[in-house]
């Protein structure tokens, strides 16, 4: 390489001996006519430059080439002015100074032109007009290639040099380097192809080469993905160019996911579909649009298989969203009286009946203990609470799940055994918080003791277990203890005085038809009528 450069310098000296002179061969002092030409040229040139800069100034500033364009214009104006003063000398390059002026100004203009081309074409192409970060190494490589070609073109024009020998030697060196850096160059050119085709951007969630994650960095050698395991994985560009790339952020951020669940055969498929859709709609992170769908996909050996298809906008939250979907589906399926079949092995013991009865007794005692904590049920004896506990159903709810909504039909009294729920009332387009209920509280007493729709909406604040007591169990207890109905009606009336005051303050209608003045007197009569206890 050094030998070629020395030969190039010797060829330059031999081709242009005038260039070795440092003293001009003629005087550069202009005549009066030359001064006039100089002034007119400078005036016209500066005026034309000012007009162009005013016309295209905004675009030049946005492209960040204002300074380069101004410098290039000034070089052109200076060159034209020198030409105007001594046109014959410049045109014929009769002196070394004229020869060098032409080539130096040409080199400066060529450099400015390359810089302008870089800002106007190269950088917008590499960044896709500002959509991705500029890769500095790739940018520098491209600039180096452009400068090298420009340099050789300038040498060929300015010094009339034959650079074939130099290029031949460079070709040999390039072959050697190419063989030694084959893998590195493969990654580099693959990165260039990806820059041009733009299969993904920084921040996109992609899957490639068996790795799924968010794109956090793109270099000339590799792409870095941040995976769900909180690791950074570097994938070489050559591997990305050969493999299939899945971009979950394009053309939209909505990404469909599938979950397969098996439900028992006795459950009607249309009811199963409604239950699973309700679980999907209540899951945080599942997009309402496109709406989730449920397909019956197969009749398995022990269950009917359903596929849940839903859309999410953040694939990094997929494990958490799928977990919520499965949990809510379990609670909803359990609440609807359905089940997830699984292989069961039953071991029969000689005292199985006794053990089963002991377990039932322990469960019943635990339920009675829970009911004894409920203030509304204090009129009942332990034996009567045992009757209620034996007929109560256990309901398990997940966080954010709605137990029932306002105006839903229901006839059961629900007791919170564990967890917390929130009671709200809706009216006139508003949703008003009434109270928060925890273990030992109950709700739904109006529908259980008076009939009619639910008076409010109950939503779970944390995983909750409730005892669901049907009104038939209450009726059975009232037949043996009529005084308990009177005490219970008084407690219900007292409890709902605060609710009626809240409705009055908020100017919301009382959908139960109970006013503050008539609450105590009408509660007992309405309960007797509902339970068919006569006047």
The residue whose two tokens read 């092995």 is: 345
3-state secondary structure of 402: strand
Strand (E) or helix (H) holding 411: none
pTM of the model: 0.47
Q: What is d(CA 447, CA 440) in angstroms, rounded to the nearest whole number? A: 19
3-state secondary structure of 265: coil
Contact criterion met (CB below 8 Å) for 339 and 264: yes
Divide the 535 residues of the chain into consecutive groups of 10 and give the mean pLDDT of each group: 44 44 47 66 73 74 74 74 62 60 76 79 71 66 78 74 60 53 56 62 82 81 82 80 78 85 89 90 88 91 90 86 90 87 60 69 85 88 88 87 89 91 84 87 87 87 91 86 82 77 61 49 78 69
pLDDT attached to residue 355? 66
Burial class (CB in 10 A: 0-12, 13-18, 19+), 313: middle
Contact criterion met (CB below 8 Å) for 275 and 332: yes
pLDDT attached to residue 180? 47
Contact criterion met (CB below 8 Å) for 65 and 116: yes
pLDDT attached to residue 296? 93
Length of the chain: 535
Q: What is the DSSP secondary structure assignment for residue 22, as one 8-state letter? A: -
- Domain ranges for the chain, please list them: 17-158, 199-247, 255-335, 359-530
The CA radius of gyration of the chain, in Å to the nearest whole number, is 43
Strand (E) or helix (H) holding 101: helix 96-117
Q: What is the phi-psi region of residue 202: left when phi exceeds 0, alpha when psi lies from -120 to 50, beta otherwise?
A: beta
pLDDT attached to residue 133? 64
Q: What is d(CA 247, CA 225) in angstroms, rounded to the nearest whole number? A: 12
The tokens for 446 are 């109006």
Q: What is d(CA 320, CA 324) in angstroms, rounded to the nearest whole number? A: 6
Q: Which CATH class is domain 255-335?
A: alpha beta
- CATH number of the 199-247 domain: 2.30.30.60
Q: What is d(CA 418, CA 401) in angstroms, rounded to the nearest whole number? A: 15
pLDDT attached to residue 2? 38
CA 516 to chain centre: 51
Contact criterion met (CB below 8 Å) for 223 and 215: yes
Q: Tell me how far CA of residue 443 lies from CA of 88, 419, 423, in angstroms.
A: 106, 14, 9
Q: Tell me how far CA of residue 99 lies from CA of 19, 87, 156, 387, in angstroms.
A: 7, 13, 15, 115
pLDDT attached to residue 9? 44
pLDDT attached to residue 233? 87
∠ CA 356-362-368, nearest 5°, is 135
Residues forming beta bridges with residue 426, ordered by sequence position: 431
pLDDT attached to residue 19? 42
Asked if the domains at 199-247 and 359-530 fall in one CATH topology, the answer is: no
Positive or negative, the CA dihedral 150, 155, 157, 162 is negative
Report residue 16: phi and psi, to 5°. Answer: -135, 80
Residues 434-449: b if buried by 16+ CB within 10 A, e if exposed? beebeeebbbbbbbbb
Fold of 359-530: Jelly Rolls (2.60.120)
pLDDT attached to residue 518? 52
The residue whose two tokens read 């950074």 is: 232
3-state secondary structure of 421: strand
């Amino acid at each position: 390489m050094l030998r070629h450069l020395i030969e190039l310098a010797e060829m330059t000296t031999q081709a242009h001996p005038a260039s070795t002179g440092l003293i001009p061969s003629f005087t550069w002092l202009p005549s009066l006519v030359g001064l006039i030409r100089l002034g007119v040229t400078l005036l016209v040139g500066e005026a034309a430059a000012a007009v162009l800069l005013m016309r295209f100034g905004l675009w030049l500033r946005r492209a960040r080439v204002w300074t380069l364009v101004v410098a290039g214009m000034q070089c052109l104006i200076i060159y034209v002015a020198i030409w105007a003063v001594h046109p014959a000398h410049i045109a014929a390059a009769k002196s070394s100074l004229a020869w060098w002026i032409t080539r130096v100004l040409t080199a400066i203009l060529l450099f400015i032109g390359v810089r302008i081309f870089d800002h106007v074409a190269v950088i917008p192409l590499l960044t896709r007009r500002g959509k991705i970060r500029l890769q500095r190494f790739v940018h520098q490589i491209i600039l180096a290639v452009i400068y090298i070609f420009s340099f050789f073109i300038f040498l060929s024009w300015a010094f009339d040099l034959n650079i074939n020998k130099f290029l031949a030697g460079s070709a040999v060196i390039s072959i050697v380097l190419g063989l030694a850096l084959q893998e590195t160059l493969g990654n580099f050119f693959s990165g260039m192809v990806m820059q041009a085709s733009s299969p993904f951007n920084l921040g996109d969630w992609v899957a490639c080469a068996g790795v799924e994650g968010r794109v956090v960095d793109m270099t000339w050698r590799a792409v870095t993905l941040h995976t769900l395991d909180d690791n950074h994985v570097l994938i070489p560009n050559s591997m990305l160019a050969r493999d299939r790339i899945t971009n979950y952020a394009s053309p939209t951020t909505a990404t469909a996911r599938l979950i397969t669940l098996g439900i028992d055969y006795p459950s009607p498929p249309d009811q199963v579909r409604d239950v699973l859709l309700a679980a999907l709609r209540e899951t945080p992170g599942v997009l309402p649009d496109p709406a989730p769908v449920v397909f019956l996909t197969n009749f398995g050996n022990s269950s009917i298989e359903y596929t849940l298809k839903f859309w999410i906008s953040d694939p990094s939250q997929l494990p958490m969203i799928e977990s919520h979907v499965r949990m809510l589906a379990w609670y909803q399926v359990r609440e609807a009286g359905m089940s997830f079949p699984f292989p069961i092995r039953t071991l029969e013991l000689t005292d199985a009946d006794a053990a089963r009865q002991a377990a039932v007794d322990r469960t019943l005692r635990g339920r009675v203990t829970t009911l004894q904590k409920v203030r509304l049920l204090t009129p009942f004896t332990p034996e009567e609470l045992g009757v209620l506990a034996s007929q109560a159903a256990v309901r398990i709810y997940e966080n954010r799940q709605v137990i029932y909504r306002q105006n839903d039909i229901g006839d059961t009294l629900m007791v919170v055994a564990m967890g917390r729920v929130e009671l709200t009332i809706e009216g006139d387009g508003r949703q008003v918080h009434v109270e928060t209920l925890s273990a030992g509280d109950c709700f739904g007493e109006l529908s259980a003791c008076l009939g009619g729709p639910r008076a409010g909406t109950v939503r779970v604040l944390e995983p909750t277990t409730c005892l669901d007591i049907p009104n038939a169990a209450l009726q059975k207890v009232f037949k043996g203890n009529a005084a308990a109905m009177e005490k219970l009606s008084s407690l219900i009336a007292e409890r709902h005085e605060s609710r009626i005051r809240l409705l009055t303050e908020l100017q919301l209608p009382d959908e139960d038809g109970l006013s503050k003045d008539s609450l105590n007197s009408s509660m007992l009569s309405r309960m007797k009528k509902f339970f068919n206890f006569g006047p």
